[in-house]
Every structure is written in C-alpha cells, then in structure tokens.
Chain A
C-alpha cells in the first residue's frame, strides 16, 4: 500500500490563503470536477437528468450553485459539474451513473486549480485580470476568459464580492501570482 501525501495545486499540504487590502484569495483544494457533453440526439434527456442532479440546468453564460452539486455552462450542450470531495470524490463515475448514455462524462478534477476571491469591490481586481464585461456579471454568471494568457473560468456568487476562478492546474502558480499581483495593485 502506497503512503502518499496529498498536495494542493500550489504544492503545499494546506490550501494557501492570502489577504491583501481587504481582498482574500483562497486556494480551493477540495473541488472535484467532471465535464458533461450531451450526445447527439440525447440533448433533451441529458438536460432532464442533469437537472435532477444539480437543480436547474444553467443556460449559456450561467452557473447553478444552489445544491451540493454545482454546474456551469461551458459551451452549447456542455457543462462542468463540481462537488466537494467530502460529498463525492468519485465525481465522474457518479455523474456518469446519473446521466447514462445521454452524455459523455470526463473526469476533470486534477486538470483545474480553483481560487476564491472575496472581499470588498473585487471587481477592481477582476478588471485588471480579464476583459469580462463586469457590469453585466450577476450572481450565477459564469464566463470563460483569458487571465494571464491562461484560459480560465470566472464564476460569480455575489457580484463585486465573491467569485471563483478556475484555471489550468499545471499553471496554478502562475495564475495565483497573477491574482495576487492584481490584488496588490489595487490596494
């Protein structure tokens, strides 16, 4: 039996938390992810089953964040489903069992790193990081955009106060550096 020590995307044993100028960036190390792509002809059935798993199937540019299983729209007939490890750490198998042959499901957990950005007027940070139209971002908005030349998702829970940024895990340190640099810049 291997005795391995789990590390976070930033390489530490505990998630990194940084507070600069009233804005906090928290590494999220317990997020399991799986992508869902509805199969041709199974789109309606996939939506029905996905709705029973996550609540409401998010429309284009939106995320569903109410239940233990979250979902965000990533493209036409494609979504990303997320859940905390403590609830379900074999997410792909769980989602596949729920969706059956209506969709193709791919494990994404170790492909992404996640950072929660919270505090007062965090749009000051986001506007330095990406070119999302922040005035149109509301609770439950999810946008894919470029941050620091990395393809990232920006998911809004509370406008101007709480967003989650997902970026490629292999570039987690670069993304974290970009976020904290922007945080220092708006102090």
Chain B
C-alpha cells in the first residue's frame, strides 16, 4: 500500500504508523467541556465500512502527522492531508 504524502510523494505504508480515527484532532475545549464530552472524545468511535478519516504518522520519514482518508472496504486512499493543516483549518493551533 502506498500513501501519497502531500510533501514527499508516494511512500510505502511500512514507513508509517497508524494511530486511528482522525476525530482525535477535535479535542474538547478544556475550559468548557463536560465529563460527557471527554467520555465521547476518549471512547466513542464510528466504525464505518467505507471512507474513513484516520491519523497516520510518517515515522520512518519526515515525522509528520497525516490525515488519510481510506476506504476500509477496498483500502483505496482518496485523500492525504497534513494533520496540522486540517487542525488549523478547524481553528486549532493558532
């Protein structure tokens, strides 16, 4: 499986480490979040059969975190973005 790194081009998936659901980026605001928000953030995950946004770490490469959109049925990868760009577009890490 190849992951098309947005900066470095296609790289073998053996260079990457899989973390999981990209909703980890959406950490609740510590100032306002309730216990239920933290519970949902920590434990609840969708398990789709189809496109899934997930976090991958380019461990044997440039050490960047990526948001990879992968079809869990076919393994087709339709989009690869830098996680920091995704987070910033959502107003994080300003």
Contact surface of A with B, Cβ cutoff 8 Å? 40, 60-61, 73-76, 131, 133, 136, 143-146, 151
Bound CA–CA A61/B61 (angstroms): 10
Q: Is the CB of B62 within 8 A of A131?
A: no
Q: How large is the interface on B (under 10, 10 to 19, 20 to 34, 35 or more residues)?
A: 10 to 19
Least Cβ–Cβ distance between B47 and chain A, in angstroms? 31
Contact surface of B with A, Cβ cutoff 8 Å? 7-10, 12, 14-15, 59-64, 82, 84, 93
CB neighbours (8 Å) of A60 from chain B are: 7-8, 62
Q: Is the CB of A131 within 8 A of B61?
A: no
Enumerate 25 A-B pairs (CB-CB under 8 Å) in ascending A order.
A40-B93, A60-B7, A60-B8, A61-B9, A74-B63, A75-B62, A75-B63, A75-B64, A76-B7, A76-B62, A76-B64, A76-B82, A76-B84, A131-B12, A131-B14, A131-B15, A133-B9, A133-B10, A143-B61, A144-B61, A144-B62, A144-B63, A145-B61, A146-B14, A151-B60
Least Cβ–Cβ distance between A58 and chain B, in angstroms? 12
Q: Is the CB of A145 within 8 A of B15?
A: yes
CB neighbours (8 Å) of A40 from chain B are: 93
Bound CA–CA A61/B9 (angstroms): 10
CB neighbours (8 Å) of B82 from chain A are: 76
Q: Closest residue to B60 on the A side, CB-wise?
A: A146
Q: Is the CB of B15 within 8 A of A146?
A: yes
CB neighbours (8 Å) of A151 from chain B are: 59-60
Bound CA–CA A60/B7 (angstroms): 6
Bound CA–CA A165/B14 (angstroms): 20
Least Cβ–Cβ distance between B29 and chain A, in angstroms? 19
Least Cβ–Cβ distance between B86 and chain A, in angstroms? 13
Bound CA–CA A98/B42 (angstroms): 43
Q: Which of A61, A73, A74, A145 contacts B60 (CB under 8 A)?
A: A145
